[in-house]
Structure 1
């Protein structure tokens, strides 16, 4: 029995090779792997001795040789294959242990040049892996050091690797080479900076964790991360306390973080079931927390809270009083963290780069039955090089404009049909996910009055994620005491809404950009 060993990750390779030798397995090796085995006193045949051809082109060509690949691909069950090997004086190779050049580690380095990345594209390694895996009935191929023990255990107990294990190893090889090739293709696509939506779209992700269940207990789930530096994303957060994040925790926290990134001043966003339920901005993070909490003391229970400033001791004391699922902040005062950690189940996460937005070229993916719809993320708040347009006789005041922009940021992340109301940089009523817009407007008013008080909406502003198809939303706003409205405009009946605003003395501005969120 012969084994070919050529690895970039040399974890445990000397120990494995020694075990092979003790089992009477002859070892063939290459380059740095051969040198390491030789230094450790492990007997091995250098690849050039086997092929009769020297390694060349700075090691680019080592194993690309018929003696290697015929030894891997020959089917032992076919007499004609074995006869050909005998005639060619080629021996079979029964075990392949290969892992690839560190392309991923290379492209993740700061300032890496294209030439270095390309030089770390492995050619011989994937070729050997594919040859061995294709002939899995006869060759055991190991790409993951975690499988060394499995193979050794079977060799020691049975003198061979079982067919079932070989098939499992074959599957891992093709998953590994697929992942490797996809990383390369993705890197090159980004280097070219064109063709946002290529003819074929291949993506690769790495598992972060298995989950207890998905959205519901009867659904299985796992969490995967994109390959690359993803600053400001939940995949980079460090968990400091609490239970493992659930599927819903991750989904809801991601939405809350994306809304938080719209704000530069001290801001707190509370989120529930994918929708914001309380948002507050102020000159201190404690005041911002108070605004977000008092906006909806009911819905925040069991919710997600994300913060763009350090959590203070006084803020932590207030947060501790209620049940929260997840808290995310760039940092925590020492005493604040101790306070929050006294509640063993609350998931406390630190995300230092919490304000860094996603690149505008990032994909938003939605799986549909039989396919995938792909778009770039909704990275803009307002149209580029275009000023918002006041369409009513009365213009909003400076204070109203601040609240209108605050509400516009919020409504961008409210499920459509969505309405968001704000006053003094505090959310006061949010109407998400209704099948018509007037229902969303009425719901936001009802919630504000129920949760904050009968006069909560007086003097507030209202934002709509898309245009008003009729003037009924203006009527709802007027009845609630709303003084200014922000919406995209673009309806064939815009004039009806404008006229009604003028009749009621409500200022209204058009942004020229909608923010549907389905």
Structure 2
């Protein structure tokens, strides 16, 4: 049942007389406490924070003097007491609350500066089960929520970056406005919500329950974007804390702020290039509007870049370039000849940095490592009134048992090109068709309503590339082709054969598979089934 309000109006200015300081991250806490003390604020603190302030020579009262009860159970119980929560929750203008404070000797707490046990950090670093559980804060969230609820009278600070704003708000006196308290309360509830989200997400992982009854997704605002997909849309970039190398954790070495579309496309590029282990061969992916317009491996990174660019040099203009190993000077020299929005790589040589510096608007991101395509995770998409959540598509063609379904088996080279094409097709918007030859995409058809159209578009792109390169015939001649989902009719296959493909890889599973296989046999084309599809919408 809802609790009725006495509708006592909140005052604007509230003088801070007593402050409770209890922080895990002690960055700036001594300086803040010193400034508060100079304003005549009585300091109350707990555990390690109390020690830090006392060691700094500041007069500070231990919370046990307020509760009349010592800190027990290794610090698990120290602030869960009416002496603390009464001081935080009391409505100062309510006669009954004032009387209760007087009767029970409760002192009002006007400012609560609290941050939480580092659960997210311990989780990200792979802490064992007992350590992770021990870093679930109980008293901190309780005090934060109590203070935030009573923001009519209490100021709550949960982020060290707000210490300066607090001192500015207090000014020469020691009072805060209702607007400031309201803003800090909103921030406090968002913080505890994100904290609980991290905990519930960890339990879901530990218990292997990817779809729990209640699912929340939390994040910390990394930056507010100038706009979203379009200039009339607002957008922000939030960090979820997933320990995965990529655009969210990368360091921006140079260039202006990434846009919403830059981030989306860069993520797509880096996840794709990570399909190709750096130890096996250099690889480059060029992305435009979240779809690859060229992907290739090579004996050198420069060769891989040139081969990726050759697939569709027109679409590559203004695109995103992802590399699976350190960007070297020679490759950088070639990249800067083309207008490029973003380069992302695990590392960058000093020579390459100097080369890229000549293009000050070109964003250069360094991640330190490649993401592991096999590591599970979650993806989410909003729909009207709901949230679609699924596990990451971490299926790998190397892990599948490929089934040859035609009379002719693929050659060793065809099989390698099949696998290459299927890896790329996994990252192309559906319907997707990808032609590949000798570790290089030679035609990509993306996002069509008809798979036949995807096959035709990929073939047309290959013809355009051949003309641009001065080749006598498209590189799709003698290529392998991948479809990320099954071929429902033989017409798609016939379009692929018309483009010059000699080997086809697809999931299989259509009721018309026999017709498609028969058409492949009639044309002398090799075909394998993977048993796994890779829809991407």
TM-score normalised per structure 1: 0.93
Q: 1:55 to 1:353 in 2, by over 3 A?
A: same
8 Å Cα contact 1:461-1:482 kept in structure 2: yes
Q: 1:397 to 1:348 in 2, by over 3 A?
A: same
1:507 matched to which residue of 2?
526
8 Å Cα contact 2:397-2:423 kept in structure 1: no
Q: 1:153 to 1:440 in 2, by over 3 A?
A: closer
2:225 matched to which residue of 1?
211
Unaligned runs of 5+ in 1: none
1:235 aligns to what SS in structure 2? coil
2:479 matched to which residue of 1?
460
8 Å Cα contact 1:270-1:277 kept in structure 2: yes
1:469 aligns to what SS in structure 2? coil
Residues 18-64 of structure 1: per-residue CA shift (max 9 Å, x gap): 33333333222222222332233322222222222222223322222
2:44 aligns to what SS in structure 1? strand
Whether 2:102 is the aligned partner of 1:89: answer no
Whether 2:99 is the aligned partner of 1:80: answer no
2:348 to 307, 316, 332: 332
Where do residues 26-105 of structure 1 align in structure 2 (5 Å cutoff)? 26-105=42-121
2:436 matched to which residue of 1?
422
8 Å Cα contact 1:308-1:355 kept in structure 2: no
2:379 matched to which residue of 1?
364
Whether 2:5 is the aligned partner of 1:5: answer no
Where do residues 379-394 of structure 1 align in structure 2 (5 Å cutoff)? 379-382=394-397, 387-394=401-408
More divergent stretch after superposition (175-184 vs 4-13): 4-13
Q: Figure out how many residues of one structure are paired with residues of the other and give that number.
A: 513
Q: What is the deviation of 1:158?
A: 6.1
Q: What is the deviation of 1:509?
A: 1.8
8 Å Cα contact 2:374-2:395 kept in structure 1: no
Q: 1:383 to 1:327 in 2, by over 3 A?
A: closer
Q: Find the aligned partners of 1:98 and 1:286 in 2 and give their Cα distance.
A: 52
Q: 1:236 to 1:25 in 2, by over 3 A?
A: closer
8 Å Cα contact 1:51-1:65 kept in structure 2: yes
8 Å Cα contact 2:328-2:348 kept in structure 1: yes
1:322 aligns to what SS in structure 2? coil
Q: What is the deviation of 1:272?
A: 0.8
Unaligned runs of 5+ in 2: 1-16
Q: 1:102 to 1:465 in 2, by over 3 A?
A: closer
More divergent stretch after superposition (431-440 vs 131-140): 131-140
8 Å Cα contact 2:71-2:78 kept in structure 1: yes
2:161 to 135, 146, 154: 146
Runs of 4+ in 1 over 6 A off after TM superposition: none
Q: 1:411 to 1:151 in 2, by over 3 A?
A: closer
Q: 1:5 to 1:285 in 2, by over 3 A?
A: closer
2:3 matched to which residue of 1?
none
Q: Find the aligned partners of 1:399 and 1:389 in 2 and give their Cα distance.
A: 16
Whether 2:358 is the aligned partner of 1:345: answer no
8 Å Cα contact 2:154-2:181 kept in structure 1: yes
Where do residues 255-270 of structure 1 align in structure 2 (5 Å cutoff)? 255-264=268-277, 265-270=281-286
8 Å Cα contact 1:383-1:513 kept in structure 2: no
Q: 1:310 to 1:151 in 2, by over 3 A?
A: closer
Residues 253-309 of structure 1: per-residue CA shift (max 9 Å, x gap): 111122212223221111111111011122222221221111111111111111123
Q: 1:203 to 1:459 in 2, by over 3 A?
A: same
